[in-house]
Each structure stands twice: as structure tokens, then as C-alpha cells.
Amino acid sequence: MKRLSLLFGLLFLLSGTGWGATGRMCFQCHPRAKFLKGRPHAPVAKGACVDCHRPHVARHKGLLSEAPPELCFSCHKKVKEALKTAVLVHPPFRQGACLRCHASHTSPGKGLLKGSLSKVCFSCHKDLKTSFTHVHAPFGKGRCLACHEPHASGDRRLLKRKGAKLCLSCHKPTPKLKKTHPGTLETMDCLSCHHPHGSARKGILRDVSHPPYAQGKCAGCHAKRNLGAALCFSCHEEIQKTFDHFHNHLLGGYSPNPCLLCHSPHLADTKAMLKDTPRRLCQQCHPETYRQREETLYSHPKWKLCIECHAPHGSNHPAMLKGNGNDVCIRCHETQGKFTHPVGEKVRDPRNGQPITCVTCHNTMGTNFKYNLRLSGEAALCIECHKNY
């Protein structure tokens, strides 16, 4: 009994020697100056190395007591909560890759970032255009977090606030601003006309103008705005028929004019007047599809180009594909269309009696099997139908 109390006492003493002692002990080998340079992580500053590390042995790299993100979440509980509740999450955050952006011990800047904010962001967002004639000041200064949330948001662009509220937090509604923007400033969609990063046009306006807007024929549309999609169809007559399909994106009520869910009425970056690239635009309503890709090993190389395979207005095929599960694939995969597992109307899937197509076995949106197969090509997939094998 005496021995047991002695052991407990010793353990208590060891654990109670405090951070100072453990820190001091670690810093005997790991140079203190290296860890305390710049802005150190709170446990590092306190010398509480054992908050994250085990001194002797550990299951995780760096003698960590737990692997990130769980280790990080043990203190940063609010961030963990955001991951649980948010619909649109920054991919590194969803993957628990905290250390992709953050340093674990010390950093020269705020938020324990690995480098300057812009450097960290552009290390992944390499395709973002950076040189503009007219630049939005926060973007020019590399202050990405002035507008964006780093972890999660209700917006596909991870914006901090919805609609004009974000812009009006800096751009105060002066009489001049009100004069150039007739209507209610608070309900405007600023990003519909202005590029948030920069542009060749003054006022960082987007490059392509909708002809009636360029010609100053505002009343042509605004006088008939109650017509909803019919207003757009009055000029784009041929487009109306593209919605007359079993499945379509004419989501009336989702917006007074459903066309404006995806298209910008005044200015845009492309001729199709889309509000964003399809890759980002589609994410607003289909975040789960993006999550599927992030969480799986194999996906189609053209995955980001949604409208290569999907008809954006309407289609008579499930998933709004541009053709049936064969036609849409053989546009590129010509050989497979001629020489492959038998497909087509005459070859029926024994599980449901439907024609066998490429998508019977492949799921291009992301799977954990090579060639985007739905199940393992070793056997599991084949024996679904070929029972005798």
C-alpha cells in the first residue's frame, strides 16, 4: 500500500511540476529561440509542450498525443462546432489538414499562419488572376480574410456576410454611392457587376456587358421585371425550350427570376453571363457533390467542368446528363464506345432490367476504386450481375 501511494505521489509530482518545468526540459535540446520567434502558439509560449506532445512515445508523428485535427479541436472547440454545422466548408478544413495553413509552434503573422496570408492562400489558389489594371484594395494588399472566412460559411465563396452587407461594411452608403446605384443598396448583389478582386474597367466592373445594359436600355427589362423568366425568354426565345425536359433548372420561386440564379443581368466575366465559373457556381446548391469528390480517391479528370457532361438548363436523363449513360461518355471515350463490355438497349442489367451503360459501372463524380468504378473491379463489381463467377 505504501509503495502504491509513493507511486501515485511521484506521478502527481511529475504531472504537477507544471509547464515551466516540461518546457524547460524540452528546450534543453530543442532551441527555445526557434520556438518563441514571432507569435508563438499559446501552449508554446507557456512552455506547455506536453499539451500536444508526449515526452516518451506516441502513436503519431512528432510525438503528438493525438493527430490533427482532433488535437487542435481539443482546445479550438468553436472551430470544431463550425465544421459540424456548416454546409460549405473550406476543403483543407474539412479534410482536417490544419497544418496546411497553420504552423504548429510559431509564425511571423497573426493566426499562426505558415506565411503571409496571401502566400498561404495562393499556395493552393494558383489559378486566381492577380494582375489587374484596377485592383480591389483588400485583394491588392493580400488581405483575403477581409471578405472571406477561412474555415466555413453559408456561401460557396466562403464570404463573411451575405449580399451587399459585406461590401457596405467598408463602402459606406454615401450620397454619391446611392446616386450611382438606384434602388435599395442593402438588397443589391454587388458581385453581380463588380469583380471582387480586380478588373480592366474602372470601378472594377466585370468585362462583358449584357447588350441592353451596354446600350442603356434599362427600361426594356426593368419595366417588365415582374415577368420573371419570361422576361429573358422574350429575347432568348430559343432558350425557353431548353427547359422543356423531364429535369430542368427552372426553379421558379427560388428567385423572382430563376434565370438570375446563375446568370448576371448586367455584367459578367463571360459571354454566357454566368455569375461564376460553373465549378464554383454549381457548388452553391450542390455542395454534397463537391464533398463526394473531396472524400473519394478517384474522380473524372474533367470533374470541374460540370457543363461538359451536364446540361445546365434541362435534360431528359437522370443527373441532367447531356445524353444517356453511353452517349455522354463516348463523345470523348470513342474506343470504349466500340470495344468494351456490351452496352446499349439490347444488353439489360439483370438487377433492374435497364439498358447497361457506362454509368452502370462507373461513377465519375468520385469513388474509391480505380477508373471511377462503383465497386472493386477485382470481383465485387462483376459479381453483382455475373453471379456464377
Partner 1 sequence: MYRMSQKLLRERSFSGRSCRTFYLGLIVCLLMVLGLGSTLHAGSWRLVASIEKGKAGIFLHYPLGLNYDAALGRLYVADAGNNRLISYTTDWKPLKIFDAAGQLRGPIGMVRERDGSLWVVERPINSLTFINLKLRKVERHHLTLKGRPVLVDKMTLWKDRLVILDRATGKILMLRKDLTVEREFAPGSRNFKGFFDLKSKGDILWGMETLSGRLFGFDASGKVIDTFVPKKHLPQPVSFDRDAEGNVYILDRYMKKLLIFNRDGSLRYEMLKKGFKPGQLSYPWEVLMVGRSLLILDEGNGRIDVWNR
Question: Residue 207 or residue 244: which is nearer to partner 1 going by CB?
Answer: 244
Number of residues that bind partner 1 (CB under 8 A): 36
Contact segment (CB under 8 A) with partner 1 among 11-19, 43-51, 331-339, 350-358 equals: 350-358
Inter-residue contact 364 to 358 (CB < 8 Å): no
CB-wise, 127 or 237, nearer to partner 1? Answer: 237
318: Cβ–Cβ under 8 A, 6 or more apart, which residues? 247
Closer by beta carbon to partner 1, 186 or else 288: 288
Q: Which of 251, 332, 380, 383 binds partner 1 (CB under 8 A)?
A: 251
If the CB atoms of residues 264 and 363 are measured against partner 1, the closer one turns out to be 363
Q: Which is nearer to partner 1, 43 or 228 (CB)?
A: 228
- Write out the binding residues for partner 1, residues 33-92 only, by CB under 8 A: 87
Interaction pattern, residues 290-319, with partner 1; x per rule: CB under 8 A: --------------------------xxxx
Distance CA 377, CA 276 (A): 37
184-190 LR contacts (CB < 8 Å, sep 24+): 187/163, 188/163, 188/164, 189/163, 189/164, 190/163, 190/164, 190/166
Q: Which stretch binds partner 1 (CB under 8 A): 149-157, 213-221, 266-274, 284-292?
A: 284-292
Contact mark string toward partner 1, 215..244, x via CB under 8 A = -----------xxxxx--x------x--xx
Distances (CA, A) of 234 to 229, 230, 258, 265: 9, 6, 14, 14
Q: How far apart are CA 251 and CA 19, in angstroms?
A: 59
Peptide bond into 69 cis (omega under 30): yes
What secondary structure, in 3-state letters, does 342-362 show? Answer: CCEEEEECCCCCCEECHHHHE
The answer to whether the beta carbons of residues 175 and 105 sit under 8 Å apart is no
Among 354, 368, 376, 379, binds partner 1 (CB under 8 A): 354
Measured CA to CA, the distance from residue 107 to residue 82 in angstroms comes to: 24
Among 66, 189, 308, 384, binds partner 1 (CB under 8 A): 384
Q: Which residue has the cell 479534410?
A: 95
Nearer to partner 1, 108 or 318 (CB): 318
How many CA atoms does the CB half-sphere of 349 hold within 13 Å? Answer: 13
Shortest gap between Cβ of 248 and partner 1 (angstroms)? 7
Of the ranges 27-35, 38-46, 92-100, 249-257, which one interacts with partner 1 (CB under 8 A)? Answer: 249-257
The answer to whether residue 388 forms part of the interface with partner 1 (CB under 8 A) is no
Q: Across the chain, how many H-helices and E-strands are there?
A: 21, 12
Stretch that binds partner 1, among 65-73, 158-166, 208-216, 348-356 (CB under 8 A): 348-356
Q: Which is nearer to partner 1, 125 or 348 (CB)?
A: 348
CB of 264 to partner 1, least distance (A): 20
Residue at grid coordinates 487542435: 72
What do you get for the CA distance between the two ends of the chain, in Å?
66
The Cα–Cα gap between 224 and 356 comes to 48
What radius of gyration do the chain's Cα atoms show? 28
Residue number, 180 or 352, with CB nearest to partner 1: 352
Residue selected from 65, 130, 248, 299 as contacting partner 1 according to rule CB under 8 A: 248
CB under 8 A: which stretch of 71-79, 211-219, 265-273, 351-359 binds partner 1? 351-359
Does residue 360 touch partner 1 according to CB under 8 A?
yes
User: Which residues in this chain contact partner 1 in the complex, by CB under 8 A?
Assistant: 87, 226-230, 233, 240, 243-246, 248, 250-254, 258, 285-289, 316-319, 348-349, 351-354, 360, 384
